[in-house]
Chain A
Amino acid sequence: MPSRVKTPTEKLAVTSMMIALSFAFGFLENLIPLSVGIPGVKLGLANIPVMITLYMFGTVYAIPVLIVRIVLAAATFGNASSFVFSLTGGILSFIVMCILKRTGFSITGVSMGGAVTHNMGQLAAAAIVTGTNGLIYYLPVLLISGLVAGAINGMLTGAIISRISTKTN
């Protein structure tokens, strides 16, 4: 791939940095009140480092960024229920992102697909936990907000990756 980072130690160092970044972005995002009257609408900035790792080093390195970030965030700000919600959404979206990446979507498409499935995963988890079907009202808003946030994050991530690769080569 485009970067000059090649040895496992270098990859480990960059991956660790991505975990820290992802955690910091998640925290930053909590500070920005994005109130549209529906829970679950968010920017998804924490996914940017996950995608950078996915594109630079592949799936094996990206999984720890996702999982460690979720565990750290839950241990620091969350509770058991927020952990389950994040994990459900995170794993679902990660699987979809890997599939979309392999089937030839651009990074924007991968990011949009990931964001939309993340929101659907969380909604499904919420529906199961609360045992209510009234949550269907959230679906349109969460689909569109995921699509918009995912598109922005995808373009940002693409721009970051191309900057990193030109700087280091």
Chain B
Amino acid sequence: MSGNILKFKKKDIILAAAVIAVATLCAVLTPLLSRKGEFAVITVSGQEYGRYDLNENRTITVTTDLGTNEVTIEDGKVYVSYADCPQEICARHRPVSSDGESIICVPHELVITIASNSDEGEVDAVTG
């Protein structure tokens, strides 16, 4: 019985291949379909906190009752340079720059979304 469950079967290889195929497809398609973003929209608890031009290097400190996050815009990319949340997942996130990408700090209910002019309304509608 244990030998039976251990034996790697053809089905397993097909499953692995299917997952790799889907992952590759997504990895190839998403950059093709995405455009470079123009703004970083910071939302706290579902309310828009601010909208910042990606071409302008700056650091934004967002302090709320839930905690502090420091958001840095550098060379068209956005990242969280400091956060006082427990796990600091947001601070370890890679910098984002493409339209629709986001960094989320769950404990502070903070969402940074990259947007461009054309879908300004859509982002507001979704986050609101």
Which A positions have Cβ atoms within 8 angstroms of B? 1-2, 35, 37-39, 55, 79, 81-82, 100, 103-109, 112-113, 116, 126, 130-137, 139-140, 143-144, 146-147, 151, 158-159, 161-162, 165
Contacts and interface: CB of A to CB of B under 8 A. Distances in A.
Interface in B2-18: 2-3, 5-9, 11-12, 15-16
Contacts of A143: 19-20, 22-23, 26
B69 interface: no
B50 interface: no
Contacts, number: 109
Contact of B19 (A1, A131, A137, A147): A147
B15 A112 contact: yes
Interface string B17-44: 0011011101100100000000000000
B100 interface: yes
B15 to A, nearest CB: 5
Given A35-B92, A144-B20, A147-B20, A158 B104 contact: no
Given A2-B2, A107-B5, A134-B113, A140 B23 contact: yes
A158 B6 CA distance: 6
Given A79-B107, A106-B5, A137 B11 contact: no
Interface residues of B, number: 37
Interface of B: 1-3, 5-9, 11-12, 15-16, 19-20, 22-24, 26-27, 30, 89, 92-94, 96, 98, 100-102, 104, 106-107, 111, 113-114, 126-127
A151 B8 CA distance: 11
